[in-house]
Amino acid sequence: MLLCGNAQEINKTEANKLRTILEVFFNPVETDTQFLLANKNKINLGRHLFFDERLSTNATISCNSCHNLNAFGTNGSYYLDKHKNGKWFRDVPTLYNVHTLSIYNADGGINTLKDKINDAFSNGFEMHVTDKNVIIDRLKAIEDYRILFNQVYVDDTNAVSFNNIVDALQTFIKGLTTPAPIDKFIKGDNKALSKMQIQGGHIFNDKNCYSCHTGSNIGGQMIQKLGVEFNWPNQKDLGYYNIERNPDYKMFFRVSPLRNVEKTSPYFHDRTSKNLEEAVQWMGKYERGLDISASEAKKISAFLKGLTGEIPSVYIKKPTKLVN
């Protein structure tokens, strides 16, 4: 019994140490019920828009076609089909928990969620909207949309506008949060993470992974060179260099946020790995020049699984009757 008690005490000590490491920069993710209630109508409009294929030029692609909300915000059918046919050169990142980020896209070339949504509309790899008026006229012709927009933008004489489309989508995306065991742990619940997950969190720290994967999303806060110690095998996409055309930024990419990483395989901008433990070992080798053992990778992966939240199934439910 004494040994059992000591083991529990050691686990508590290690848990408190890990919490001390994390809480310096880590704000727990929570469902903001006040925000959801205050923006109920705008969120409803944004939800309709998110699932509506009429927002693309050819009326065949919705936001959900790439960012499948039931697949943790990635790997939508349209994206998977395009990638299979060699018409997509990057992985699709999740849209969950992204509203607090200051860097978007794999190359880190966009700094606000609003700009990211606008870019998604104009990007030839995404919605490919070359004439915004086509989308506006299409929605204005739909009575139900006119009603929804006027309910939300009461004081706007031109309620069905592109700015309001972006605003409604941004509000809906802001509500895409997935509180996870890690958040309960940070708030003091030692039982929220297993003993192995706590060990993995310490190894994650010992390997200096937190130096890049920082913040409440465990990443997404900076751009960093991919292949610091060894050249990354795939050099076709040069990342941030494509934005700045500065040779010093070749192979610089946004550090990936790791929330829900367990559920968002494959990994890296070029889909290099489909296995989380393998991806951890790749990062150790190419970024740190470290040989992370299978045992260490397993424990780190266990810790990362503590970042997996629950999909808000009611919030993301596709409208049973899309406005028509």
Domain boundary among 174, 207, 237: 174
Q: Is residue 265 part of a domain?
A: yes
Q: Which residues of the chain have pLDDT under 50?
A: 1-7, 10
Q: Are residues 234 and 295 in the same domain?
A: yes
Kind and range of the H or E run holding 254: strand 252-254
Does 318 reside within a domain?
no
Domain around 277: 10-28+180-305
* Matching residue, tokens 């990142």: 93
Which residues contact residue 290 at a Cβ distance below 8 angstroms, ignoring those fewer than 6 apart? 207, 284
Q: State the Cα–Cα distance between residues 152 and 299, nearest whole angstrom.
A: 47
pLDDT digits (tens, 9 = 90+) for 67-103: 999 999 999 888 888 778 877 778 999 999 999 999 9
What is the predicted pLDDT for the residue at 9? 52
- For 162, 217, 223, 312, the CA distances from 309, given in Å and listed in that order, are 32, 12, 25, 9
Whether 55 and 146 share a structural domain? yes
Q: Which residues are catalytic?
A: 126
Residue type, 266: P
- The verdict on 129 and 198 lying in the same domain is no
CATH number of the domain within which 220 lies = 1.10.760.10
2 inside domain: no
| Predicted local distance difference test score (pLDDT) of residue 279 | 97
User: Is 289 part of any domain?
Assistant: yes
Are residues 184 and 296 located together in one domain of the fold? yes
The interaxial angle of helices 195-206 and 2-23, nearest 10 deg, is 50
160 shares a domain with 265: no
* 189 in the same domain as 138: no
* Distance separating the N- and C-terminal Cα atoms of the chain: 67
Identify the pLDDT of residue 125: 80
Would you state the pLDDT for residue 30? 93
Residue 214 lies in a domain: yes
Asked if the peptide bond before residue 266 counts as cis, ω within 30 degrees of 0, the response is yes
In order of 39, 102, 162, 234, 290, the CA distances from 257 in angstroms are: 26, 12, 29, 21, 21
